[in-house]
Amino acid sequence: MSELKVTTMADYLAKGEVPEILFWVGCAGSFDDRAKKITKAIVKILNHANVKFAVLGTEESCTGDPAKRAGNEFLFQMQAMTNITVLNGYEIKRIVTGCPHCFNTLKNEYPSLGGNYEVVHHTQLIQELLNSGRIKIEGGSFKGKKITFHDPCYLGRANDVYEAPRQVMINLDAELTEMKRSRANGLCCGAGGAQMFKEAEKGDKEVNIERTEEALALNPDIIAVGCPFCNTMMTDGVKNFNKEQTVKVLDVAELIAQAKDL
């Protein structure tokens, strides 16, 4: 495994260089132990494809998504304006995010506050790199494995991105299988709308259990996800059914990085 090459925006500026794209790591990607692995997988892919990317590092701050979904518009806009000041200061044009929530917020909710960027989700960028030949994948380790993809709400329904993650996974030569509730009919993992940060309201079941059940009914080897929060929820769900030895929950970026043995 080669060393991760990660350069901050401040370093680029000091060198007088401009990166192709800013990688918005996100809070989960920066701090959550499981999500950090996804962050590293994305970096490995970017490094492998020789993408000249930057991160904000300590200058990055929460996009404000969980505050906004929870109803705290003040806090959201405070966060947004702070981030926009930083992003505009660096004259950022293009951003890739490792999280559909950051993706949605930066893409849709920052423009009217003065932050206008082209924002893509990491699965879209990986698809782009595959299409342009900057990375190539031959089946290999996932050949014949059964994979089902869980659509993140904020990538799918919220932004109508359904194909990018699937198109990327086609390259794995695996058996892609769909849950009954997929794409626009996909069922939430239960984490959205700031639920991640609170106990669920009283009910007779957890949402992630309902969703994991649906995925496990397909007997997959891998449940593929595209969101660090979905990852947590589905991983917990799989553990709940004591299936963690046989069923892996992996981000699309991790699948690609592993397929390339990065």
Partner 1 sequence: MISSIIFILLFSAGAVWVTINFLKIRRNILIGKEIDRKDNPAQRWKIMTLVALGQKKMFERPIPAILHLFLYSAFVITQIELIEIVCDGASGHHRMFRSSLGGFYTFLVSFIEVLSVLAFIGTIAFLSRRNLLKVPRLVKSELNGWPKLDANFILIGELTLITFIFMMNGADEVLFNNGWSHAEDARGSFGLAISSHLGPMLFGGMSESSLHIVERIGWWGHIVMVLGFLNYLPYSKHFHILLAFPNVYFSNLLAKGKFTNLESVTNEVKLMFDPSAVVPPPSAEPMRFGAKDVMDLSWKQLLDAYTCTECGRCTSSCPANITGKLLSPRKIMMDTRDRLTEVGKNMDANKGEFKDDGKSLLTDYIAPEELWACTSCNACVQECPVNIDPLSIIIDLRRFLVMEQSAAPTELNMMFTNIENNGAPWQFAQADRLKWKDE
Nearer to partner 1 by C-beta: 68 or 248? Answer: 68
Q: Which of 19, 64, 165, 237 binds partner 1 (CB under 8 A)?
A: 64
Q: How far apart are CA 71 and CA 94, in angstroms?
A: 28
Q: Which is nearer to partner 1, 64 or 220 (CB)?
A: 64
Helix ranges (H only) for the chain are 9-15, 26-31, 33-48, 65-69, 73-89, 100-104, 122-131, 163-170, 207-216, 228-240, 252-259
Compute how many other C-beta atoms are within 10 angstroms of the C-beta atom of residue 17: 11
Q: Could you say whether residue 228 binds partner 1 (CB under 8 A)? A: no
Contact partners, residue 168, CB within 8 Å, separation at least 6? 123, 126, 127, 130, 252, 256
Is residue 8 at the binding interface for partner 1, with CB under 8 A as the rule? yes
Q: Is residue 2 close enough to count as binding partner 1 by CB under 8 A?
A: no
By CB under 8 A, name the one of 108, 141, 219, 246 that touches partner 1: 108
Give whichever of 91 and 199 is closer to partner 1, judged by the CB atom. 199
Least Å from the CB of residue 52 to partner 1: 17
Q: Minimum Å distance from CB 144 to partner 1?
A: 32
Interaction of residue 154 with partner 1, rule CB under 8 A: yes
**178 contacts partner 1 (rule: CB under 8 A):** no
* 66 makes contact with partner 1 (CB under 8 A): yes
Rg (CA), the chain: 18
Q: Least Å distance between CB 139 and partner 1?
A: 30
Burial of 86 (0-12, 13-18, 19+ CB in 10 A): middle
Nearer to partner 1, 101 or 142 (CB): 101
In angstroms, the CA 86 to CA 163 distance is 32
124 binds partner 1 (CB under 8 A): no
Size of the site for partner 1 (CB under 8 A): 71
Q: Are strands 175-177 and 146-149 parallel, antiparallel or unpaired?
A: parallel
